[in-house]
Amino acid sequence: MKIKIKPYHQQNRGDFFTLPIPEDYRELNLRTHWKSTQVKRLWLHFDVILDVEYFIRWNNAQTPKYEIGGFLFGAYNALENGGFEVQITKFHPDFLPEFQSPARLSFGKFFISQVQDILVENPGWRVMGWWHTHPGHSVYLSTIDLNLHDGFFREGFHLALVLDPFTPGWNTGFFSRKADGVVNNRIDFRPEMDWVSWLELVKWANTRKGLEADV
């Protein structure tokens, strides 16, 4: 898989990060998830939440139910005291992966070409991370996942989202890098916290979408 991700130190950090944050983004404080995290706060646009839901429900109607995934686009803000704030504005799914099974996913060449096209068409966006499911085998980053993340998503603002659609609330982990650059994993998750419920995010997103439609 080949994809060009511009190093953050070559980007104008504030140009495309919208402040104040619009109300159509849902805030998540990752400092409540991890003892150490370079991404301090994350905002998800309601369209991202609903597009992920649609992709999962489409896959759940298939037999067998494979791992699915895609890339996340948006912008970041580098904080003066270190770390990042991240906005996720778009989710792009891979409907034609190179390889797919209930326990593994490899992104396809056509998908990567689509990613490059999205970046060309939207010069203010960056690839902010990737998302995939673990259908029935819980929320964590496997060795294969970690190798992909360390190979292609090396910056401190990059995120790996993992969702288990077989859990009642669609448990989701937002895996960031620690201050030392090592990727957080299940063992690092604060024991007093619960995984984020994607279905709870969907409830908020549907409400937000309804408000937008009424304007």
| pLDDT tens for each residue of 109-144 | 899 999 999 999 998 899 999 999 999 999 999 999
3-state SS assignment for residue 68: coil
CATH number, residue 25: 3.40.140.10
**Higher pLDDT among residues 215 and 137, named by residue:** 137
Tally of domains within the chain: 1
| pLDDT the model gives residue 39 | 98
pTM (2 decimals)?
0.90
| In a domain? residue 2 | no
d(CA 41, CA 43): 7
Is residue 1 one of the residues assigned to a domain? no
User: Which bin fits 83, alpha (ψ -120 to 50), beta or left (φ > 0)?
Assistant: left
- d(CA 21, CA 91) in angstroms, rounded, equals 18
Q: Is residue 4 part of a domain?
A: no
Q: Note whether residue 11 is domain-resident.
A: no
Listed in sequence order, the residues at least 6 apart from 100 whose beta carbon sits closer than 8 Å to its beta carbon are 66, 67, 68, 106
- Boundaries of domain holding 87: 20-214
- The string of pLDDT tens digits covering residues 35-74 is 999 999 999 999 999 999 999 999 999 888 899 999 999 9
Sheet of 39-45, strands arranged across: 25-29, 39-45, 84-93, 69-78, 126-133, 159-164, 171-175, 196-197
Q: Of 6, 37, 43, nearest to 21 (Cα)? A: 43
- Tell me, yes or no, whether 142 lies in a domain: yes
What are the Cα distances from residue 95, in Å, to 75, 161, 170? 24, 18, 20
State residue 210's pLDDT score: 84
Rounded distance, CA 23 to CA 51, Å? 18
Model confidence at 6: pLDDT above 60? no
Output 6 or 109, whichever has higher pLDDT: 109
